């Protein structure tokens, strides 16, 4: 008798600006590149394609609002004057047993937890000193913006049994290894439970 089909795990990556979420996600994308069962969807963002930062699907604010009203996103939110969305196609990916790794806002965690099963929150953190240095080095935030982002980072730590904290204060190799190991371990656990 064939094993029951496993529902994929939704990995929601959260953390303050400067924690290195995009860097860790890119390292994991490279690591899992030969696997068709680990998906890293591009976010739809209301900013131009050439604005820098992560590769994304650019849309106008008007198009974004239309897509929201049409149900194009499984998750969406607004932050720092921009709209962000994760395509609704992740629902079928998860139903087919694929694992999905997505960079999201901490503000959508409760919604995601109520709408999806097998959710893991990968909370990427770094020390306040490291965050401040990274924010200054990337040059997008000015003096008071850096201070407000650091204060916000302390207030918005996710909690719950589904949260795995990844301290990315050190070098890229160490942070990436912990991040990749968390995905691999939790993805294997899902398979063992379905077949065991």
pLDDT tens-digit readout, 166-177: 999 999 999 999
Measured distance CA(33)–CA(43) in Å, rounded: 18
Which pLDDT band holds residue 154 (cuts at 50, 70, 90)?
low
Measured distance CA(82)–CA(155) in Å, rounded: 21
CATH of domain 42-88: 3.30.63.10
pTM above 0.75, yes or no: yes
The ranges of the chain annotated as CATH 3.40.50.300 are: 1-39+99-191
Q: What pLDDT sits at residue 142?
A: 62
pLDDT tens-digit readout, 43-96: 999 998 887 778 899 999 999 999 999 999 999 999 889 999 999 999 999 999
Tell me the three-class secondary structure of 63-82, residue by residue: HHHHHHHCCCEEEEEEECCE
Hey, what CATH topology would domain 1-39+99-191 get? Rossmann fold (3.40.50)
The ranges of the chain annotated as CATH 3.30.63.10 are: 42-88
pLDDT tens-digit readout, 97-126: 999 999 999 999 999 999 998 999 999 999
Measured distance CA(180)–CA(32) in Å, rounded: 9
């Amino acid at each position: 008798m064939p094993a029951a089909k496993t529902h994929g795990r939704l990995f929601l990556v959260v953390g303050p600006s400067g924690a290195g979420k995009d860097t860790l996600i890119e390292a994991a994308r490279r690591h899992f590149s030969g696997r068709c069962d680990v998906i890293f969807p591009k976010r739809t963002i209301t900013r131009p394609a050439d604005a820098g930062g992560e590769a994304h699907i650019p849309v106008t604010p008007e198009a974004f609002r239309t897509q929201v009203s049409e149900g194009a996103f499984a998750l969406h939110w607004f932050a720092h004057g921009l709209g962000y969305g994760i395509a609704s196609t992740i629902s079928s990916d998860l139903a087919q047993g694929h694992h999905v790794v997505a960079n999201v806002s901490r503000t959508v965690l409760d919604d995601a937890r109520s709408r999806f099963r097998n959710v893991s929150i990968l909370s990427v953190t770094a020390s306040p000193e490291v965050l401040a240095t990274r924010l200054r080095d990337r040059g997008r935030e000015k003096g008071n913006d850096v201070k407000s982002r650091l204060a916000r980072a302390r207030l918005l730590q996710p909690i719950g049994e589904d949260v795995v904290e990844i301290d990315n204060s050190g070098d890229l190799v160490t942070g990436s290894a912990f991040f990749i190991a968390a995905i691999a371990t939790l993805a294997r656990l899902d398979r063992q439970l379905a077949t065991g």
